Amino acid sequence: MRALYLLSDLLYVILFRVAGYRRKVVRKNLRNSFPEKNANELLRLEKAFQHWFCDLVLETLKTLRISPKQVERLVKVEGEEVLHRYFEQGRSIILVMGHWGNWELGGARFSQLPYQKLNVIYHPLQEPHFNELVIRMRTRLGNGLYPMREAARMMLRDRDKGTATAFIADQTPSPETAYWTAFLGQQTPVFRGPGKLSKRFGMPIVYLGIDRTRRGHYIMRFEDLVPDPALLEEDTITELHVRRLEQDIRKRPEIWLWSHRRWKHPPPANSPSEQSEAIAP
């Protein structure tokens, strides 16, 4: 791991100091999300993000060879009792998370827990060799994958098998079918899938945050977000997981994926204005 982080420091120089990778996107996202911060604060946050991003790239590649013992040393777990309770009830669950921390190491660590089998929803890549690499990386320790277009059918098929289906819910959906809400102070489209499928299949929603405690070390926290989806409206469920992720990002913003063009779509004319931020997780 020491050699990995030396390589990460070199990657930082090449990727950001020389190539200026997505500099404009990162700066625009940070400026719009934190209008209260001054220029020096935003610059420090930008550099912290860049260093974390390089660590993330190398840590992700490490999952191609990482051992179960090593991933258990690097990623600690809190809130296992949430998983255990649903596992004892024989219930499948939905995990909602964001691109915060290290989701690939988190998936590897989940595979070593004695509870639900993890199935991650993914979008198959067009380049076959890279797609095969991603599949091997995410399944080599025992996790499964659901292609995005088949996810609902496969969740229904496996509903009685005690599974955990992971949604990385901060990606950018089609604006026409998305739920629009205020996220980090900006009108943002959000996938409706977790709320819709939790109600359709009666699956509780568990929030997963993967915080970084120090370089190379993370902690996974499981929280019971929506124990009974039948009691809530679909959009309320969406608001709950958006607000919870936003809370984590504001707590430690440098470990979220600011290089992603999260706000590339303008809101439609009929989108709601400020959504119900009063809904608290």
Q: pLDDT per residue over 18-72, tens digit each?
A: 999 999 999 999 999 999 999 999 999 999 999 999 999 999 999 999 999 999 9
Give 182-221 pLDDT, tens digit per residue: 999 999 999 999 999 999 999 999 999 999 999 999 999 9
pLDDT at 271: 58
Mean pLDDT, the chain, rounded, equals: 93
Per domain, the residue ranges of the chain are: 74-254
pLDDT at position 269: 75
Q: What pLDDT sits at residue 202?
A: 96
CA nearest neighbour of 181 among 273, 258, 266: 273
Specify the 3-state DSSP secondary structure of 47: helix
Query: What pLDDT score was predicted for residue 268?
Result: 81
Question: Is the confidence at residue 181, as pLDDT, over 50?
Answer: yes
Torsion sign (Cα): 92, 98, 100, 105: positive
Closest by Cα among 109, 66, 70 to 222: 109
Q: Provide the percentage of residues in the chain whose pLDDT is more than 90.
A: 86
Q: What pairs with residue 75 in β-bridges?
A: 218
Angle at the Cα of 36 from the Cα atoms of 31 and 40, rounded to 5 degrees: 65
The pTM of the full predicted model, rounded to 2 decimals, is 0.92
pLDDT tens-digit series, residues 91-114: 999 999 999 999 999 999 999 999
Q: Return the pLDDT at 1.
A: 86
Residue 124 has pLDDT above 90, yes or no: no
In angstroms, rounded to a whole number, what is the distance separating the alpha carbons of residues 67 and 51? 25
Query: For residues 164 and 234, what is the distance between their CA atoms, to the nearest angstrom?
Result: 19
Place of tokens 């791991």: 1
Label residue 272 by pLDDT band (50, 70, 90): low
- Whole-Å CA distances, 140 to 66, 151, 264, 273, 278: 10, 20, 34, 44, 42
